[in-house]
Amino acid sequence: MAIRIYNSLTKKKEDFVPLEEKVVRMYTCGVTVYDQCHIGHGRSLYIFDVIRRYLQFRGYDVHFIRNITDIDDKIINRAQELQKSWETVVQENIDAYKRDLKALRIDEADVEPRATENIESIQRDITGLIAKGYAYEVDGDVYFRVRQFKRYGQLSGQSIEKMLEAVRIEPDAKKADPLDFALWKKSKENEPGWPSPWGTGRPGWHIECSCMSLKHLQCRTLDIHAGGRDLIFPHHENEIAQAEPLTGKPFAQYWIHHGLLTINGQKMAKSLGNFITIQEALKTYRVDALKMFFLASHYASAIDFSDERMKEASKAVEKISILLKRVEPFSKTKSESKLWEDPSLALPAWREKFSEAMDDDFNTPKALACLFDFVSETHRFIDTHQRDRAYHHTITAAGKLIEQWCHEIFGLLGDDASDKPSEEQERLLQERQEARRNKDFRRSDELRDLLREKGCIVEDTKEGQSWRRG
């Protein structure tokens, strides 16, 4: 069965057919490095990592590019604010970004192109657009002539007239039309700049992405272009407008957009004081809990971050760990034939159910529901099938299947030290489990308080105790 993807361009769920058999060329809009990454970036980075992993799992050779915008008005403004050079601001934030990716255990892209390393190619594209009548230079700036591109608005589904109403008419008399956007910006004094046929300046944001995606994926049409929903207009609309006149081909076959993230129902903003960086979130919650929270909603939905939701996510992660711990001893016994699995746990059917969910537009909540049903079924099998011929082997195979889903596709249950309790916490957790088993609730409560002092919040669930940072 084919993977089906909701394509923002056609506004339909469609069978996924890449242009080259078994090869996927995928580009995602990366970060602008003027500040640290927040958990909204975390969602974007993670969810596209999961999609990449799933496509690989389904046998595709995925060429994956994620850019870094390292020159932008925001970077220049931040450098002025901090009285640092723009290069320092960029380097500090790239270092922080790489640290975040590592902490989240998200794979590097095949290429992570930076705008400033692709200036020549960007200039070549701009020159091409001027030559074809799609762009014009005015006093060191170059603008894209929006009305020249007849399909403008196809992605965001807006008419030019509607857009014109929405666009604030800037007092910029240089533009021939208020809808036109900058491809090249002339540098002011003391601003970074690169020599160009139009004088010293820097590229606009939109041209970076259309240029670097096609260049580094070495194609004229991408299979998948991905990004946040907030980028559809104008960023992605502009990317299409820039790319298609140059290549004469559709820019991307499938457009995937993730929904946005709010915090306790509010938009995240520095001014509201609810801005949570990835590093801050990981001081309170485990990496796997954060990932579980992202997976619990479909990538296209808006999600709301709250302590409550994070607690649920922590418990969900713990459910998987509890089962895997229970399964572990069975894998150490070699008593049965490896060729025969007990049909009462029907592993192939579970495998199929999971793939069906993921094939349906990467429906992670549906896939998780399948995973947790399978966790319960495996507990039940362990409790009730002791007499079965392939008892040990079936349990081991079930554990391996859960591990495969968690590791290979969701990037969960990594062996990152920060995701495990410390030795002391582990000892106290075990002692508490023992106390509860002996119904020594006073001791178990004492240990819970002690663990809290040591930064470990314990909760009791049906399957046993779970813990999270606190």
Tell me whether residue 67 or residue 355 sits nearer to Zn ion (CB atom).
67
Instruction: Please report, as a single letter, which amino acid is at residue 308.
Output: E
71 near Zn ion, rule: CB under 5 A? no
Instruction: Please report, as a single letter, which amino acid is at residue 143.
Output: Y
Tell me whether residue 209 or residue 289 sits nearer to Zn ion (CB atom).
209
- 395-401's contacts with Cβ under 8 Å and 24+ in sequence apart are 395/327, 395/330, 396/327, 396/330, 396/331, 397/341, 397/347, 398/327, 398/345, 398/347, 398/374, 399/323, 399/324, 399/327, 399/328, 399/330, 399/331, 401/347, 401/350, 401/351, 401/374
The residue range among 89-97, 110-118, 135-143, 204-212 that interacts with Zn ion, by the rule CB under 5 A, is 204-212
- The nearest distance, CB 29 to Zn ion, in angstroms, is 3
Any idea what DSSP says for residue 277?
B
Of 3, 5, 29, 126, the one binding Zn ion (CB under 5 A) is: 29
- The nearest distance, CB 442 to Zn ion, in angstroms, is 58
The residue range among 25-33, 70-78, 165-173, 390-398 that interacts with Zn ion, by the rule CB under 5 A, is 25-33
- The nearest distance, CB 136 to Zn ion, in angstroms, is 23
Confirm if 231 and 67 have CB atoms less than 8 A apart: no
Total binding residues toward Zn ion, as defined by CB under 5 A: 2
Measured between alpha carbons, how far is 106 from 49 in angstroms, rounded to an integer? 7
Binding to Zn ion (CB under 5 A) within 181-200 occurs at: none
226 near Zn ion, rule: CB under 5 A? no
451 near Zn ion, rule: CB under 5 A? no
Of 65, 76, 115, 209, the one binding Zn ion (CB under 5 A) is: 209
- The nearest distance, CB 145 to Zn ion, in angstroms, is 21
- The nearest distance, CB 49 to Zn ion, in angstroms, is 17
Tell me whether residue 52 or residue 311 sits nearer to Zn ion (CB atom).
52
Which structure tokens are listed for 257? 């957009």
Measured between alpha carbons, how far is 283 from 266 in angstroms, rounded to an integer? 22
| Bridge pairing between strands 303-305 and 261-263 | parallel
- The nearest distance, CB 227 to Zn ion, in angstroms, is 6
**Stated length of the chain:** 470
| Bridge pairing between strands 252-258 and 222-228 | parallel
Tell me whether residue 34 or residue 305 sits nearer to Zn ion (CB atom).
34
Can you give the binding site for Zn ion, defined by CB under 5 A?
29, 209
